[in-house]
């Protein structure tokens, strides 16, 4: 309501714990568009930004999994999430998107970071090995936003929310986050 002329595109594949009901309020506004899709395909992301011409992009897309999936597939999580981060952020920049929020996870912080985790703990010691691939890709996305903000003057920021659990979450032994 505060910015009635802004258009917002939210891109997410909803392959893990995604739930459209959490976006119900935002979807009431004509300026908001949810797009189900993956950010690994640079052409698809480019086409989305060219078609929508959004003022704001909220990048929620990621390949996610639980402890078991991450441990067994760090290379896949690193590769796919790096593609998603680079494609979505750079295609947004190239399309002239003025404001961007890149979402990640608190797993980007060191395994033994102090609690509560201070922001400046990033990259101060080793990451948790079970999800290191995912964390490195999210760090790359965070840094890309930081560098574009500093070098190009765009309003690109990152947010690393904590994990929350609830209705509709994935409690699978391999794919879930809860032990």
**Mind telling me the catalytic residues?**
134
Helix (H, G, I), strand (E, B) or coil at 26: helix
Determine the 3-state secondary structure of 89 from DSSP: helix
**Helix H or strand E segment including 156:** strand 155-159
Q: Which has the closest alpha carbon to 136: 58, 84, 172?
A: 84
**Helical H segments across the chain, by residue range:** 42-52, 67-72, 74-94, 132-152
């Amino acid at each position: 309501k505060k910015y009635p002329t802004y258009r917002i595109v939210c891109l997410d594949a909803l392959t893990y714990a995604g739930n459209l009901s959490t976006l119900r309020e935002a979807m009431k506004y004509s300026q908001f568009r949810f797009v189900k899709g993956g950010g690994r395909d640079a052409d698809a992301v480019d086409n989305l930004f060219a078609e929508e011409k959004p003022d704001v992009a909220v990048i929620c897309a990621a390949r996610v999994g639980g402890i078991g999936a991450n441990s067994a597939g760090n290379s896949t999580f690193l590769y796919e999430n790096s593609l998603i981060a680079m494609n979505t952020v750079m295609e947004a920049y190239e399309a002239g998107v003025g404001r961007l929020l890149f979402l990640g996870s608190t797993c980007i912080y060191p395994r033994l970071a102090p609690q509560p985790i201070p922001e400046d703990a990033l990259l101060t010691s080793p990451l948790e090995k079970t999800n290191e691939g995912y964390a490195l890709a999210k760090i790359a996305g965070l840094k890309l936003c930081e560098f574009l903000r500093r070098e190009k003057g765009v309003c690109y920021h990152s947010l690393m929310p904590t994990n929350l659990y609830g209705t509709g979450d994935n409690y699978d032994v391999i794919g879930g986050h809860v032990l």
